[in-house]
A and B are shown apart, each in its own frame.
Chain A
Amino acid sequence: MPVRQRETPFGLPRPETPHGEIVILEERCKGCGFCIEYCPHGVLITAKKYNAKGYHPPEIVKAELCVDCGYTYEPPKAGEKP
């Protein structure tokens, strides 16, 4: 039986999923494609445009799905300065 999102075990509040704000430094991209390949939620795709060095930087297509997994950059622990 599918679990509906409203119902949670023991009546506890729904756990919060982390969310990340993605910043792409396009001019530094080397077009390796690792971030696009290994994003667990397919947030990025290869852009059609080029940066100054001729590489295709990534482009954000599903920003709301980013869960701050840390593959692209691991955030500091809570309480530390970013």
Chain B
Amino acid sequence: MSILKELQKASLSPTAGLTGPDKHPMDDFLRMDRMPHIWCSTCGIGVSVNCFAKALEKLGTPLDDVVVVSGIGCTGRVAGYVKVDSFHTTHGRAIPFATGMKLANPKLKVIVFSGDGDIIAIGGNHFINAARRNIDITVICLNNFNYAMTGGQVAATTPEGAILSTSPYGNFETPFNLPFLAESVGAVYVARWTSLHVYNQTNSMVEAMKKPGFSFIEIVAPCPTIFERQQKMGDGLDRLRWYCENSEIQTDPKTKDANIGLRDKMIVGKFVDIERPTYLDAMNAHYQERLGPKYKVYEG
């Protein structure tokens, strides 16, 4: 048989030709019939899905009650690979879909896992309103500073000076400072980590999912095929080394200092951890006060 045929035969199953047992402990959490996934080598998304799986295990919520909603884009594909009830919705509208799902059945644990362009550019309006209302969902925003799936266009989070396909002479627009934005619209938990900080990411995810209210985690991730390649920053591993040198974990960072420049140091850590009544708590309390015994507490 030719080498090509042998390789094809070997690659037919994700567990073909192994030197050890063919099951990974995380296989129950992933849709193994859809592996291998589409993400590039050294992409930060796979790392975050791994952390997410770990976080769910630590959290202890039964997986039947977990719902993952994502939008469109590379990070949007996360919904397709996790073996929970998952919904791959339209571009930018994962957060209102998650809002509807959570309000219709408050027992579900709803997590929005999507990219920076999806959540804060096209989905910006929904992001700020869901945070304002303090809907009890967790939003994990993977920030790779561009629209990767469509080939690497400039995004609302792209640092100044970056060269991308729709900013071929360098980006001159000021990007969003996501923790600052999230804090200002009322998110109760705001954290930023990079793909390097896997343990911190996992713990943050556990904290965010435990916390009632709108929690937001920004994960700065490498995009080796597009962002890092266009800026000549190497591949994902080089970028992780760069994060190691240039990210500073602060214990009580201020969001207004959390801007990210193209080749500047960045601050990571937990920015905000406050208490606020969630949408449903506020609604129930309010109607009980106004309508008295006529009102039956809304439980879904």
Contacts and interface: CB of A to CB of B under 8 A. Distances in A.
Indicate whether A and B are direct neighbours in the complex (CB within 8 Å).
Answer: yes
Contacts of B25: 73, 82
Contacts of A52: 7, 10-11, 16-17
B237 A33 contact: yes
B170 to A, nearest CB: 29
B198 interface: yes
Contacts of A26: 17-19
Contact of B41 (A23, A30, A71): A30
Interface in A19-60: 23-28, 30-34, 37, 51-53, 55
B21 A55 contact: no
A73 B26 CA distance: 9
A28 B25 CA distance: 13
B17 A53 contact: no
Contacts of B241: 37
Interface string B45-65: 011000000100000000000
Interface residues of A, number: 20
A55 B47 CA distance: 17
A47 to B, nearest CB: 11
A23 B20 contact: yes
Contact of A32 (B19, B36, B41): B41
A33 B47 CA distance: 12
Interface string B1-38: 00000010011001111111110111000000001100
A71 B20 CA distance: 19
B215 interface: no
B32 to A, nearest CB: 10
A53 B237 contact: no
A74 interface: yes
Contact of B14 (A24, A28, A37): A28
A36 to B, nearest CB: 9
A51 B20 CA distance: 14
A24 B19 contact: yes
Interface in B88-140: none
B158 interface: no
Nearest to A54: B7
B236 interface: yes
B37 to A, nearest CB: 9
Interface string B173-209: 0000000000000000000000000100000000000
A31 B41 contact: yes
23 contacts: A24-B19, A24-B20, A25-B24, A26-B17, A27-B11, A27-B15, A27-B16, A27-B17, A28-B15, A28-B35, A30-B39, A30-B40, A30-B41, A32-B46, A32-B237, A33-B42, A34-B240, A51-B17, A53-B11, A55-B41, A71-B198, A73-B26, A74-B54
Given A25-B22, A32-B42, A32-B46, 15 more contacts: A23-B21, A25-B20, A27-B11, A27-B16, A27-B18, A28-B14, A28-B24, A28-B36, A30-B40, A32-B41, A33-B42, A34-B47, A34-B240, A37-B241, A73-B24
